[in-house]
Amino acid sequence: MDATEQDAKKADENKVEALLIERRFHEALPEGRRPARRIKVRKFSDAAVDFFCWGKAHYREHPGSFKRIKGSFASLKLFFGAEPVSLIDAGMTEEYKTWRVNEYEVRDITIRHDLHALSKFFGYAILQHWTYSNPVHDVDMPSDGDAIRMHILTAAEEADYFARAENFPGLHDVGRLMINQGIRPEEATVIAKVDVDLKRRQILIRKSKSLASERTLDLTSEACEILARRMEGDSPWIFPSGRKHGDHIGRINSAHDSIVAKAAKESVCINWVPYDFRHTFATRIAQGGVEGGVDLVTLAALLGHESIRLVQKYVHPTAEHKKAGMKKYDRLIN
């Protein structure tokens, strides 16, 4: 029996087992148990196609979230394949976690993203009567504390990195804009010249992830200098490239990888990614020295987040911050 025949046989066996499970539910009816809707047997890979069609419409205001879900499904479909949705249980989900760690050495944050995507899928699958329950609810998910990974650059790390980045003008300027303005890399690389107002020292960030991501930001002095220099030339984009909207995130990441590799040869460890420039901006402006940083609502607006809950991870008040805050309050009420 070849591999194709074996897969077909397994699929048939799984279908029979699913039908037996359904039969047991119906046999329980005379005992006064709640009736169960008839399960529609669907292969995971086939059901994923329908889920994507639903997700594209459901996440139309949050394309970034849908993109992450689709990214997770590349491995989910590979693992679960032709398995009937109704037979995927908590044990099989735990096996998936183990497989991802052992085969691909992924981090906790990746596991967390995968499980969130799978949980969304099972929520939809229940509505479609492909299964009775969501097995993700019965497995351990990495906590926010374990999953969130960010690196806040020190002044020395920042100076060394951008000295190395001088040979990569695109990465250098994108990184400096991120540290100065807190914008996302995908927002920086698609800046149109018409959205830059150097007289008012402002820039319009077009919608990228959600409605809140479209915002007007006041520019720092360094950001003004970078943008003024890049306003030259015929391209309508601040960061021109061969693609529409100047999207060259791949080049930015490749340049960063080159810097990391060269630094490693000098026994210098660069253990951060370009997105950490945004994290660095957020943490610095949130802390703001002993005089106190910006409030959470303002920080959320600057970062283009819809909820202040998403920005709380950047705020780490020290004893000095709290003391300064109470002194301010004391002056206010007396």
CB 227 within 8 A of CB 196: yes
Residue 225 is predicted with a pLDDT of 97
User: Nearest-5° angle of CA 28, CA 29, CA 32?
Assistant: 100
Distance CA 103, CA 143 (A): 22
Distance CA 41, CA 171 (A): 49
Element (H, E) at 333: helix 319-333
Structure tokens at 109: 């944050």
| Confidence tier at 331 by pLDDT (50, 70, 90) | confident
Torsional sign, CA 279, 282, 283, 285: positive
Distance CA 242, CA 248 (A): 9
Distance CA 246, CA 173 (A): 14
Residue 267 is predicted with a pLDDT of 92
CA dihedral (32, 38, 44, 48) in degrees, to 10, reads -110
Question: If DSSP codes are grouped into helix, strand and coil, which group holds residue 53?
Answer: helix
Residue 12 is predicted with a pLDDT of 67
Domains and CATH numbers, the chain: 3-147 (1.10.150.130), 155-327 (1.10.443.10)
Give the mean pLDDT of 139-149: 68
Residue 244 is predicted with a pLDDT of 47
Global pTM value = 0.61
> In this structure, are strands 215-218 and 196-197 parallel, antiparallel, or unpaired?
unpaired
pLDDT for 9 beyond 70: no
User: Nearest-5° angle of CA 208, CA 52, CA 135?
Assistant: 110
pLDDT for 157 beyond 90: yes
Q: What is the pLDDT of residues 264-291, one digit of tens each?
A: 999 999 988 899 999 999 988 888 754 5
Q: What is the pLDDT of residues 25-80, one digit of tens each?
A: 566 555 555 555 678 999 999 999 999 999 999 988 777 788 889 889 999 999 99
- Residues paired with 202 in a beta bridge: 197, 218
Instruction: Print the SS3 string covering 253-270.
Output: HHHHHHHHHHHHHCCCCC
CB atoms within 10 A of CB 66: 19
pLDDT for 109 beyond 90: no
Residue 245 is predicted with a pLDDT of 43
Residue 20 is predicted with a pLDDT of 64
Distance CA 53, CA 58 (A): 9
Residue 197 is predicted with a pLDDT of 97
Least confidently predicted of 109-123, 160-174, 302-316: 302-316
CB atoms within 10 A of CB 239: 21
Residue 186 is predicted with a pLDDT of 87
| Confidence tier at 22 by pLDDT (50, 70, 90) | low
Helices (H) and strands (E) in the chain, counts: 14, 3
Closest among 232, 207, 204, 203 to 220, alpha carbons compared: 203
CB atoms within 10 A of CB 199: 5
Residue 231 corresponds to which amino acid?
Answer: M
The owner of tokens 């539910």 is 25
Residue 118 is predicted with a pLDDT of 95
Q: What is the pLDDT of residues 183-235, one digit of tens each?
A: 999 899 999 999 999 999 999 998 766 677 899 999 999 999 999 999 998 99
Residue 246 is predicted with a pLDDT of 41
CB atoms within 10 A of CB 107: 15
Contacts with 105 (C-beta within 8 Å, 6 or more apart), sequence order:
none
| Confidence tier at 7 by pLDDT (50, 70, 90) | low
Q: What is the pLDDT of residues 223-266, one digit of tens each?
A: 999 999 999 989 999 998 744 444 477 788 889 999 999 999 99
Q: What is the pLDDT of residues 291-316, one digit of tens each?
A: 567 888 899 999 998 888 778 877 76
